[in-house]
Structure 1
């Protein structure tokens, strides 16, 4: 593509104008992005909150909404609703996915020129996620407190004293910044302890208010009961007199109290692992405890229908008492025989294990294996019988010399052979020459 002859002398000018246009477009884009221009494809959502005071909150000035110091959105509008300032905030979903119903908001200045911002604590589960149209109430928000409001709460004398204090303090601290820093550094421990004492005093104040309220309720209840109160005082006097009479025993008990407390402290320390596991166990038992009322309600019909059977069972137990009394002596005797019986069963178990034991190896067998062969051979041994029943089979081989040695058994041998032995072995006859 060729450039027209007329434009050739102006190419440098055209290139410069094009470059300036690109630079202007880049600068304009940068300015628009940093001037809080929201692009259509950005994912945003809105939340609203009521503040008791929204002084110096001006929408459109880029006043930020921060979480832990990180910007997640900005204030988009503020209007008056039922005498309170309702502040609407636009949140970038990429920076903060959701805000929950237990969120807390603090309105505070970022600079001494009252450049306001909202410090947001978004909360979390199990609180629900806020949707479009949901509003956080005044109880979840804190407005910014200005110095003039603090000074306005002081009377004239306190203001004058404050002016004198500030003026005198300014003259006293003039040129002593290093010494003041050392004083502040040295007072850190004192400030920490003072804070702890202040917290304890604040707790005591709450406890004192509750004590006064409970004392008032107690007084209102005890007011119409003077007679009962008098009897209570008389009973307390008698109790204290009885305690005073046991002064020596009380002293002895108090002397032993430290050892008891030490033992209790040791026991509590040892029970810490149990307490840690108890929480998990109790949490696991919560579903069972929640279903227990329904189970108790469901078992009521069974209890009603089982009441007659329970009454008959009670009668049976009463009737069985004499039998139970008679069984005491046999049971006692049976318990006396239990140790020998246990030993017999132990020996029987040993014998059974020996008989049933099968040695390792393909050729080694236990007693039970050979018991079958023994039964088979024993059956063959008694397989013959006559009118008198089974009889043994066997072969007995003797010599005449053996019979001479077994002379006491000659009658038995003659009965076996059914022949006089002198015919078999004449030498065994003592009358033979």
Structure 2
């Protein structure tokens, strides 16, 4: 055997190549014939997720003809068996394992793929909130719709409607029939085609509008819900609405009574418009002057960005201060501010009076502080003298210690008696001298002694 292979190796290699090519062609044909290997075949096997669909009718659904199950136009499986249960068609759907699961709120539409009734199942898998359908489960008839044939639509019409429809179709055929056309004249079909072409921009804009509405479906649903709540709330407030209508009616009646004034106001509008035009012309000249100014500000604007970037370290340093010091202080001071709010409300009635009082005090202090020109001093010039004199008059002690202030009142007779006593009592004479009595010869003309000048002072104590 080996010897023959060595002798005929070319023939043997050709047979091997033909065998490999045959396997490739067979695999290609089988793949296009929807031939699937079992799931247990490693690498080539296909596993299916089987779910049943309950339909009112499975017209033109034929198993084994490659009729597909599509999701958003993408093939996800094929139609398996078709059975009849309780007068309803049950279609077995074999869905590829990578496209599972299907949820309990899934919907199925049976529709033709071509005009020859090559049917497909258009599947919407549903939402995860409804829960998954286990393998072998069923989509109920309430979530499925069959294909509707034109004869079913026509059969739903009554006899008169069908007769009128027949007349309409015959009239349309007569209108589109071209007879006695001049050379170069367009046919009715061509006119109709051009008419439909004119609707192309409308259809395109309608498509864009529809896509926009689809993308905003949630917003539209929210608007409808809010409008429903608004309508419900308005229904509960019918009396208020009636009062609003009555008030609006009264307002409109008032407007009607002021018709003459409104007409006069409208007559003033031309002048106002002329003034507006003049103002706009002035603004135009301002804009012309403003252009070079803004051009001059461009270097400043270019330098502003680096300046702001240089402020970033400062902002980073002040951020902890604001976060850790100013914000806690603001939170802590809020109770105090609330307490002060009550005090300020109570202070509000007397604030006007206090304002007037402080204004009077302000004028008073301004008068005191005013220094007029010339030799006349201001009132504050005398404040030092008044303070010194006041201290002297009201002080109760001096450098020697506490003292008692007194006023001695004596008559001229007592004044004359005081001289002999002071001469005999040196201490009394010293006190009389310290009292600094005025000269008796001035105050008492009849007394010419001038005793104070005659009173001897006590000798100083001997050491």
| Higher-RCO chain (CA-CA 8 Å, sequence separation at least 6) | 1
TM-score tier, shorter chain, comes to 0.3 to 0.5
